[in-house]
Structure 1
Amino acid sequence: MPFPPVADALQHPNGLLASGGDLSPPRLLDAYRRGIFPWFSPGEPILWWSPDPRMVLFPAEFDCSHSLKKTLRKGHYEIRTDSAFERVMRACADRPGKGTWITAEMIDAYCELHRLGYAHSVEVWMNGELAGGLYGVALGGMFYGESMFSRQRDGSKIALAHLAAQWQHWHGTRGLIDCQMHTLHLASLGAREIPRTEFVARVQELINCTPVADFRFEPDLFQ
């Protein structure tokens, strides 16, 4: 069944559009191309969302604190992409006492998207260990951020800083990083809310941009 128009999404809870279906690659990609994403808890049907407003990060607006700038300049870490995608997902799901929406079903679905070249991980490695990272889906000039984690101080912030800088390097001021829902943490890093109508219009433009052929990051963007 096709998705309803995003304008039909509920106001309470904000953005709930549909339930059911599956997490097959065609359905997931169709959802992202329409500005829709899945988010549901274990035991629930698959729920599909398109909130209004939408939290996004314009890469040039990434707010890098003084301490984070020092960390990025020192470079006492290694940035890798797509070398441990499933490990990143499982690390994002590892939230003791808090629960997670990243179920085994979601991990299987996004690992398949990764195998097909649509889902990617940005990883921060320190002393040979995975210290932080994030994952999401890339379509043209859109990067749909899904989740991030830290095991060392600023691990996720380093990953997002590199993603923002690389996305701007690849797509200029046109590129956009979707953050889905408002959080104080994301707002502190420069993300902001825009109306859903604006978000969907940008998505329709950006998904038609030439996709990145090689999802490898420049190692010296902050040197």
Structure 2
Amino acid sequence: MHNAPKVTLLDDTLAFPPVEEAWEGLLAIGGDLSEARLIAAYEHGVFPWYGENDPILWWAPEKRSVLFLENLHIAKSMRSVLNRNQFELRIDTAFDQVIQTCADVRSHKEGTWISKDIIKAYIRLHEIGLAHSFEAWLGEKLVGGLYGVSIGRMFFGESMFSIESNASKFCFIQLVQWAESNAYGPIDCQISNSHLTSMGATIIPREEYSKILRTYLSAGKTRRGMWTIHK
């Protein structure tokens, strides 16, 4: 008879157990989505990911997807899109719309983990200047975007969407270039997928990710507030 895995049940304190205690990536259950707890989670290398009717689940995967900025791959077809100036980049002008559209697009495809509570929590992070959106516009129509959290010199990517072909890739490229010009560390992509892998994301062990996290959390003051293209 196998022993059941021991997963920490969170209480009112903000402390997370060591990430090495994660069972198949799952580190803890419960708690809340307050700004303080989400900040503590990201600083600890942990993120929330759970279904609509599930308790809050906190993850620290053994294998982490990251994009080292110098490894960004831009396909020839994508370079053509960039050269044509097909999309207009805006940053932090429609965060609520970006996260809601990420939820809607995923819900129509395979279901979404971006619940109403998640949306409210990340909008709060945006309002205090820690969550940001990169947006692709065609005229006055939002056609692609991504959002994530920034603490220190780390950017933790959460989700992206495209209504027009290549719009999310455009946003990701703009994020990487912005991060590079502002001395950020690798982009945390959390969980690997073919879309990110095609753009240069790679898998690293949790131990290596933790070292990167410690380095770049302390590499500079957190850039709170609304971001701009030239900041």
Residue 215 of structure 2 corresponds to residue 205 of structure 1: yes
**Per-residue CA distance 1:78-122 (angstroms, 9 max, x = gap):** 101110001000110013141100000000000000000000000
Residue 205 of structure 2 corresponds to residue 195 of structure 1: yes
Aligned pairs, number: 214
TM-score (norm 2): 0.89
TM-score (norm 1): 0.92
SS at match of 2:182: helix
Rounded Cα–Cα distance in structure 1 between residues aligned with 2:61 and 2:87: 35
Shift of 1:212: 3.3
Give matches, 1:159-198, under 5 Å: 159-171=171-183, 175-198=185-208
Residue 155 of structure 2 corresponds to residue 143 of structure 1: yes
Letter in 2 for 1:133: G
Give matches, 1:47-86, under 5 Å: 47-86=57-96
Given that 2:87 and 2:167 are in contact with CA atoms closer than 8 Å, whether structure 1 keeps it comes out as: no
Aligned residue number for residue 134 of structure 1 = 146
Rounded Cα–Cα distance in structure 2 between residues aligned with 1:194 and 1:136: 20
5+ residue gaps in structure 2? 1-12
**Per-residue CA distance 1:170-195 (angstroms, 9 max, x = gap):** 11xx6111000111111111000111
Rounded Cα–Cα distance in structure 2 between residues aligned with 1:69 and 1:216: 23
Q: What root-mean-square deviation, in Å, do the aligned CA atoms of Structure 1 and Structure 2 show?
A: 1.4
Closer/same/farther in 2, CA of residues 97 and 212 from structure 1, 3 Å limit = closer
Letter in 1 for 2:66: V
Given that 2:145 and 2:160 are in contact with CA atoms closer than 8 Å, whether structure 1 keeps it comes out as: yes
Given that 1:80 and 1:217 are in contact with CA atoms closer than 8 Å, whether structure 2 keeps it comes out as: yes
What percentage of aligned pairs have identical amino acids? Answer: 43
5+ residue gaps in structure 1? none
Letter in 2 for 1:189: M
